[in-house]
Amino acid sequence: MKCPHCGAETKDTSKTCKACGQNVTGPSLWMPSWRWHLKALGTIYVVLVITFFVLKRLLAPYVRSLPPEVTPWLQHPQTPVEQASSVPHESPKR
C-alpha cells in the first residue's frame, strides 16, 4: 500500500506512514446516524414483542396449571380483615 501523502510504501496493516508520519487509514465507509440506530432498535423491539405474543398463543394448549398444593408459596394468606369478612354473620334475633 502506498501512502496517499508522500507515496512511500507502507505495510497493509500499518496505521501511519513510517516516512512522513501521516495517517494512512481512510475514513470509515459508513457511520450510522442516530436515526438509523432508533430505526434498528425499534424494529428489533417490535419483532420481539410480536414473537412473544405469537408464541404465547401457539403454546397456550401446552401450558398446564399447577394445583395449589404443589406451590404453597404462591398462595396468598388471608389478612384478618378478609378472614372476618368470610365468616358468616348471624342476624340479631328479635
Instruction: Pinpoint the alpha helices (H) of 1-94.
Output: 34-59, 80-86
Where in the chain are the domains? Answer: 1-28, 31-61
CA distance 36 to 42: 10
Work out the average pLDDT over 35-55: 97
Tens-place pLDDT, residues 49-81: 999 999 999 999 998 888 888 888 877 776 666
Which pLDDT does position 94 carry in this prediction? 58
Which pLDDT does position 84 carry in this prediction? 61
Work out the average pLDDT over 8-30: 84
Work out the average pLDDT over 42-48: 98
Place of cell 496505521: 15
